[in-house]
């Protein structure tokens, strides 16, 4: 055990506070921190955004490349999501081969983006069956104070909405100097986001700080959208940590999740261009 | 349109399931579990002293799971060695099994669980969990319960039990959803919940009910296989 793991004292204190609906930072249990979205983190990226949610700070950049389609999806462009937990963002992150958390973050964003079909990959074919656009989403936290995935999901959507498809020169190569106004084709009306629920004792919270994340027994991350602008749809989920969730917990989340999504979407829309 | 399953199964019907305990003589516990053509095998070694020392927990044994597909278990050969997918499944398998174990009696040690897929026709991680749960029991690790796992699917608008490979790639209507679930047997404590696809929030509790029924059947098959190895 490292000295950075949260102490039993903090855990007991949080557990008692959650039981009466309180948190260290004064939020309610199911209250998300306010966030801001900033664009154009790098003018070399085809789209980029930075989200600050409390002290959590994440940058996401989208790059487009030309490549071959996968043999099982010749009529579609490719999607790749990667990223790294940079050691600059937290004393808990180390350099070297990716640890589980560094693998899980991009994979959960990948599933949210892919399964919601927010990117219209069928419109990203350049030469039928031979050449397609590859959309690469890279996620880097600059400061980790919990709920990295949720902040990354907001930044991913914001960045995708800004993303342009670069122009190609006469040899079919990307013209990095040329300006393009062609937007990345996105699905009409579908905006996916993730929500992290953490459980300590019998209490459930959302958008945990790092301290709360470490104190909790169980977690689950949901990806949800307003699918085609019609209805709430869950696209991804992953339970973590070593304590089970019971049926009541899951039914509770299914009631609250659509409301939380609607609130966050309203906040996000103020920043979308 | 009502979704029809290609192999004629009812929506809430699993493929034939089989289980066998004690398949690897060197292991402290081992088992095989199959859903139709999906075959998972698991072996348990330990508790044994954990190296390097700094990873030891003086309060209990740690559980360490490794899941992978054998290279020839899938149509296109899988490159041997860990992938991001297999590392993620190893970790969620660890999380789904550990609530069933009581490892306080074995400080500073490790219980290693190795799960491999011989033949893959979807639902491999849940087959692996079912096999691993039996292997841990045979190894004599103190357990509160067995862990049972099944994948619930949604094909267009219909919920189905035990997704096969064809169903995993279903694309009509609302497409395919794969929802692997594990639980402590005969409780409402869920230890694995993963999901990919498109499913309305109101259908999630209904999927749990289907998983409960399937897991009750899996539990009986696991118990029978464990009793068989004791009587041999």
What CA–CA distance (Å, rounded) separates B41 from B68?
A: 10
Give the nearest partner residue to A115 out of B198, B200, B204, using CB atoms: B198
Mean pLDDT of chain A: 95
Domain range enclosing A221: 14-269
Report pLDDT digits (tens) over A198-257.
999 999 999 999 999 999 999 999 999 999 999 999 999 999 999 999 999 999 999 999
Going from N- to C-terminal start, the domains of chain B cover 17-231
Flag if B87 and A231 touch (Cβ within 8 Å). Answer: no
B183 and B211 Cβ atoms separated by less than 8 Å:
yes
In percent, the amount of chain A with pLDDT more than 70 equals 98
The reply to whether A5 falls in a domain is no
Per-residue pLDDT, B164: 96
Given pLDDT bands bounded at 50, 70 and 90, which one contains residue A3? very low
DSSP designation for A168: B
Flag if A247 and B195 touch (Cβ within 8 Å). Answer: no
Among chain A residues, the shortest Cα distance to B175 is held by A115
Per-residue pLDDT, A1: 39
Return the CATH fold of B17-231.
Answer: Ribosomal Protein S5; domain 2 (3.30.230)
Give the nearest partner residue to B196 out of A103, A115, A220, using CB atoms: A115
Q: Is A247 on the interface with B (CB under 8 A)?
A: yes
Buried b (16+ CB within 10 A) or exposed e, B198-214: bbbbebbeebbebbbeb
- Give A37's strand partners: A51
**Cis geometry, peptide bond prior to residue A54 (ω within 30 degrees of 0):** no
- The yes/no answer to whether this complex scores an ipTM above 0.85 is yes
Per-residue pLDDT, A5: 63
The reply to whether A152 falls in a domain is yes
What CA–CA distance (Å, rounded) separates A20 from B117?
A: 47
Span A149-167, average pLDDT: 97
Residues of chain B contacting A97 with CB distance shorter than 8 Å: none
Other beta carbons within 10 Å of A39: 15
Q: What angle do CA A198, A200, A201 make, to 5 degrees?
A: 140
Other beta carbons within 10 Å of A250: 20
Interface of A with B in 96-155 (CB under 8 A): 100, 103-104, 107, 111, 115-116
Min distance B198 CA to chain A CA atoms (Å):
5
> Taking an 8 Å Cβ-Cβ cutoff, which residues of chain B contact chain A?
57, 84, 87-88, 91-92, 95, 98-99, 179, 183-184, 187-202, 204-205, 208
Among chain A residues, the shortest Cα distance to B197 is held by A235
Q: How many CA atoms within 13 Å lie on the side-chain side of A262? A: 9
Token pair in block for residue B124: 């491999």
Per-residue pLDDT, B115: 98
Min distance B53 CA to chain A CA atoms (Å):
12
CATH of the domain at A181: 3.30.230.70
Flag if B198 and A227 touch (Cβ within 8 Å). Answer: yes
Q: What angle do CA B171, B174, B180 make, to 5 degrees?
A: 80
Flag if A236 and B189 touch (Cβ within 8 Å). Answer: no
Q: What's the number of domains chain A is made of?
A: 1
What CA–CA distance (Å, rounded) separates A201 from A130?
A: 54
The reply to whether A235 falls in a domain is yes
The reply to whether A256 falls in a domain is yes
- Give A61's strand partners: A48, A138
What CA–CA distance (Å, rounded) separates B117 from B94?
A: 16
Print pLDDT tens along chain B (232 aa).
678 899 999 999 999 999 999 999 999 999 999 999 999 999 999 999 999 999 999 999 999 999 999 999 999 999 999 999 999 999 999 999 999 999 999 999 999 999 999 999 999 999 999 999 999 999 999 999 999 999 999 999 999 999 999 999 999 999 999 999 999 999 999 999 999 999 999 999 999 999 999 999 999 999 999 999 987 7
Report pLDDT digits (tens) over A246-266.
999 999 999 999 999 999 999
The reply to whether A1 falls in a domain is no
Min distance A232 CA to chain B CA atoms (Å):
6
Per-residue pLDDT, B1: 60
Min distance A262 CA to chain B CA atoms (Å):
14
The reply to whether A102 falls in a domain is yes
């Amino acid at each position: 055990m490292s000295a950075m793991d949260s102490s039993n004292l903090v855990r007991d204190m949080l557990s008692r506070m959650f039981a009466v609906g309180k948190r260290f930072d004064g939020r309610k249990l199911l209250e998300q921190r306010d966030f801001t979205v900033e664009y154009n983190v790098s003018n070399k990226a085809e789209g980029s955004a930075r989200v600050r949610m409390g002290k959590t700070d994440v940058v996401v950049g989208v790059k487009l490349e030309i490549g071959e389609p996968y043999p099982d999806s010749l009529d579609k462009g490719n999607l790749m999501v990667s990223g790294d937990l940079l050691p600059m963002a937290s004393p808990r992150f180390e350099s070297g081969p990716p640890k589980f958390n560094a693998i899980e973050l991009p994979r959960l964003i990948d599933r949210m983006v892919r399964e919601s079909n927010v990117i219209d990959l069928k419109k990203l074919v350049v030469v039928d069956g031979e050449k397609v656009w590859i959309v690469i989403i890279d996620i880097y936290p600059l400061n980790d104070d919990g709920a990295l995935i949720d902040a990354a999901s907001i930044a991913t959507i914001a960045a995708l909405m800004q993303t342009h498809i670069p122009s190609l020169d006469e040899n079919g190569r990307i013209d990095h100097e040329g300006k393009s106004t062609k937007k990345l084709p996105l699905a009409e009306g579908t905006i996916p986001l993730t929500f992290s629920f953490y459980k300590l004792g019998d209490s459930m919270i959302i958008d945990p700080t790092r301290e709360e994340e470490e104190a909790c027994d169980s977690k689950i991350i949901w990806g949800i959208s307003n699918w085609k602008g019609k209805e709430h749809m869950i696209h991804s989920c992953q339970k973590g940590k070593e304590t089970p969730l019971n049926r009541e917990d899951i039914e509770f989340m299914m009631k609250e999740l659509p409301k939380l999504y609607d609130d966050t979407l309203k906040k996000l829309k103020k920043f979308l261009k | 349109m009502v979704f029809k399953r290609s192999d004629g199964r009812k929506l809430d019907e699993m493929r034939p399931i089989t289980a066998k305990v004690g398949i690897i003589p060197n292991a402290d516990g081992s088992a095989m579990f199959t859903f139709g053509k999906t075959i998972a095998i698991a072996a348990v070694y330990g508790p044994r002293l954990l190296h390097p020392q700094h990873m030891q927990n003086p309060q209990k044994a740690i559980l360490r799971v490794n899941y992978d597909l054998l290279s020839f278990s899938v149509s296109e050969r899988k490159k041997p060695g860990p992938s991001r997918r297999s590392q993620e499944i190893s970790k969620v398998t660890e999380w789904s099994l550990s609530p069933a174990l009581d490892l306080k009696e074995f400080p500073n040690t490790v219980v290693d669980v190795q799960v491999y897929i011989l033949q893959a026709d979807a639902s491999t991680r849940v087959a692996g969990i079912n096999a691993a749960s039996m292997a841990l029991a045979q190894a004599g690790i103190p357990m509160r319960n067995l862990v049972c796992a099944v994948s619930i699917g949604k094909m267009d608008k219909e919920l189905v039990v035990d997704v096969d490979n064809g169903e995993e790639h279903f694309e009509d209507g609302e497409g395919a959803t794969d929802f692997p679930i594990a639980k402590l047997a005969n409780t409402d404590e869920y230890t694995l919940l993963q999901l990919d696809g498109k499913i309305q929030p109101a259908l999630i509790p209904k999927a749990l009910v289907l998983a409960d029924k399937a897991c009750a059947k899996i539990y009986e098959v696991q118990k029978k296989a464990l009793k068989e190895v004791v009587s041999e």
